[in-house]
């Protein structure tokens, strides 16, 4: 899989370790790379590992290490070391890892670990290799071999035991050639989704060695998930990582973002204290000249969540440097969102990149029924006053009410009433926002979550499939759908990316009305 119209020269290879929702994480990764015009080729895709070839300089806009500050679905990034290909035997590998350990100039005891993503080594074998390396390395300096549960270090262990201590983690990767890949949720003619088709072929018995260069910070994700001041179990249940992935997916549809240098999103300080954000830039000059690390915000990126709940989507969009607007039919949800956004902005752990902001957060979370004209009326009160026409790009990212929580499957007959209720809410919402046309509001993409309900007697009930025909008649085109959820969950999420055509036909206007 290769991005079109680019040439890769003097390449480097990186292994991206994806999280549990691998297909969504992969699409998010591709979206972010597209957003920053990174020329890349996916060399290998197997399970939760994507090995990517790209130019040695990676991108004029962003560094590969900085990607970890953006991505929600990637947990680790390894740089494949030059001349680190070897057959599946221990000799050769041990001497190479010893050489790399000797290059680390960190003072004190050096922590190191080995994660086997190839499936070649058993846990005892990997432990023995680590012990042998430790014995040899100790002849020159104090070292500690960090063992994980199984053959792979968890992202939390990698962050706390390796990354924060400036240690070394080496990843072992199997070389598998990607022959054919269709990411899950490609959309057929007619709008309904078809099953994914992945074809993988392993072409030799060689392994690659990678060196850890970035890992996710689990503490920050946990703080935003469980540490925010407001929310309840019925509102704001979306995990922050999913919210981040959804925002990244829609921003990937906007490819005109220009940045002066590669530290555009985060200037990283990597030391004993781990990663520190340095994101907010104030007093930036006006005009075409960009400040150091400044995103060209002449076309502001505005993320609107009309079912904002506790504000999880808006929080992640804000961290990515977007302007945010939220609304909800519930007054409590509006107050919760305002409180959580204020907490995020005031929390020293989360530095906000909100460059030359023209919007005031407290004024842009309001109470409104997303299915009624009051939503558009209130939105019109804000956008034209604060932003020049067509001076922004609007993205709608939202998760509406998905129905009552369900712990056990029931017969289809027992969910029909709720299905019809949800369908009515969703279609009325899409009908209501049909006036936000690309040519007037610069609406780029809509990311909308539909529920999939598992039943005892009729398999899955997909609300997206229930709605798609009417959505197409309203003028919406689906570009992709992706599923999110564990196998045992009765209700899963179906994430749809949709775009609204510039013009609706007279037949569509007569049938659905001309919403203004």
| pLDDT tens digits along 401-421 | 999 999 999 999 999 999 999
Phi, psi of 301 (to 5 degrees): -95, 115
Q: Are residues 241 and 131 in the same domain?
A: no
Q: Which pLDDT score is estimated for 285?
A: 29
- Answer whether residue 400 is part of any domain: yes
Q: Are residues 175 and 228 in the same domain?
A: no
- Answer whether residue 272 is part of any domain: no
Q: Which pLDDT score is estimated for 199?
A: 43
CB of 8 closer than 8 Å to CB of 53: yes
Q: Which residue has the tokens 């009515």?
A: 424
Measured CA angle at 499 (ends 493, 504), to 5 deg:
130
Please state the domain count of the chain: 2
- What 3-state class would DSSP assign to 369? coil
Question: Higher pLDDT residue, 361 or 277?
Answer: 361
Q: Are residues 97 and 235 in the same domain?
A: no
Note the pLDDT tens digit of each residue in 441-464: 889 999 999 999 999 998 999 999
Q: Are residues 230 and 211 in the same domain?
A: no
And the tokens for 282?
Answer: 């104030």
Question: Higher pLDDT residue, 378 or 190?
Answer: 378
Q: Are residues 123 and 242 in the same domain?
A: no
- Answer whether residue 444 is part of any domain: yes
Q: Which pLDDT score is estimated for 352?
A: 58
Element at 274 (helix H, strand E): strand 274-276
Task: For residue 31, give its domain range.
Answer: 12-179+202-216
User: Does residue 231 surpass a pLDDT of 50?
Assistant: yes
Q: Are residues 81 and 162 in the same domain?
A: yes
Q: Are residues 90 and 233 in the same domain?
A: no
Q: Which pLDDT score is estimated for 301?
A: 86
Q: How far apart are CA 304 and CA 325, in angstroms?
A: 5
Comparing C-alpha atoms, which of 303, 248, 176 is closest to residue 482?
248
Q: How far apart are CA 434 and CA 475, in angstroms?
A: 8
Q: Are residues 130 and 232 in the same domain?
A: no
Cα–Cα separations (whole angstroms), residue 281 to 297, 317, 321, 499: 12, 17, 11, 32
Residue at which a domain ends, from 166, 193, 216: 216
Q: Are residues 345 and 401 in the same domain?
A: yes
Note the pLDDT tens digit of each residue in 360-396: 545 589 999 999 999 999 988 877 555 555 678 899 9
């Amino acid at each position: 899989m290769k991005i079109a119209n680019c040439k890769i020269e003097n390449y480097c290879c990186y292994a991206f370790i994806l999280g549990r929702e691998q297909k969504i994480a992969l699409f998010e990764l591709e979206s972010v790379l597209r957003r920053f015009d990174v020329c890349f080729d996916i060399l290998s895709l197997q399970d939760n590992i994507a090995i990517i070839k790209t130019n040695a300089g990676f991108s004029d806009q962003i560094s590969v290490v900085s990607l970890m500050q953006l991505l929600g679905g990637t947990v680790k990034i390894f740089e494949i070391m030059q001349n680190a290909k070897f057959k599946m035997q221990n000799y050769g590998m041990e001497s190479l890892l010893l050489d790399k350990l000797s290059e680390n100039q960190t003072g004190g005891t050096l922590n190191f670990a080995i994660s086997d993503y190839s499936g070649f080594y058993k846990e005892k074998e990997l432990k023995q290799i680590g012990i042998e390396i430790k014995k040899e390395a100790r002849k020159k300096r104090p070292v500690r071999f960090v063992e994980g549960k199984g053959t792979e270090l968890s992202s939390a262990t990698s962050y706390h035991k390796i990354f924060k201590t400036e240690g070394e983690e080496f990843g072992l990767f199997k070389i598998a050639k990607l022959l054919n890949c269709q990411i899950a949720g490609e959309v057929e003619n007619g709008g309904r989704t078809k099953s994914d088709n992945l074809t993988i072929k392993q072409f030799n018995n060689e392994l690659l060695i990678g060196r850890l260069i970035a890992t996710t910070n689990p503490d920050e994700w946990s703080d935003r998930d469980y540490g925010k001041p407001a929310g309840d179990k019925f509102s704001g249940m979306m995990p922050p990582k999913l919210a981040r992935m959804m925002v990244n997916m829609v921003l990937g549809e906007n490819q005109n973002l220009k940045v002066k240098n590669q530290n555009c999103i985060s200037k990283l300080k990597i030391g004993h204290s781990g990663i520190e954000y340095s994101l907010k830039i104030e007093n930036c000059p006006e005009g075409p000249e960009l400040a150091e690390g400044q995103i060209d915000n002449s076309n502001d990126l505005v993320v609107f969540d009309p079912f904002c709940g506790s504000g999880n989507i808006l929080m992640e969009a804000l961290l990515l440097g977007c302007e945010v607007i939220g609304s909800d039919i519930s007054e409590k949800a509006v107050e919760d969102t305002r409180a959580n956004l204020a907490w995020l902005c005031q929390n020293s752990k989360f530095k906000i990149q909100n460059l030359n902001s023209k919007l005031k957060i407290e004024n842009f979370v309001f109470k409104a029924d997303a299915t009624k004209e009051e939503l558009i009326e209130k939105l019109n009160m804000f956008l034209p006053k604060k932003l020049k026409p067509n001076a922004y790009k609007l993205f709608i990212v939202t998760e509406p009410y998905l129905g009552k929580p369900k712990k056990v499957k029931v017969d289809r007959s027992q969910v029909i009433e709720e299905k019809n209720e949800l369908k009515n809410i969703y279609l009325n919402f899409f009908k209501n926002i049909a006036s936000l046309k690309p040519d007037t509001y610069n609406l780029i993409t809509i990311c909308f979550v539909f529920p999939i309900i598992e039943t005892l007697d009729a398999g899955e009930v997909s609300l997206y499939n229930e709605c798609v025909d009417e959505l197409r008649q309203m003028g919406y085109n689906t570009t992709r759908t992706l599923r999110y959820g564990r196998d045992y969950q009765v209700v899963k999420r179906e994430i749809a990316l949709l775009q609204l055509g510039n013009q609706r036909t007279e037949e569509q206007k007569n049938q659905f009305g001309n919403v203004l």
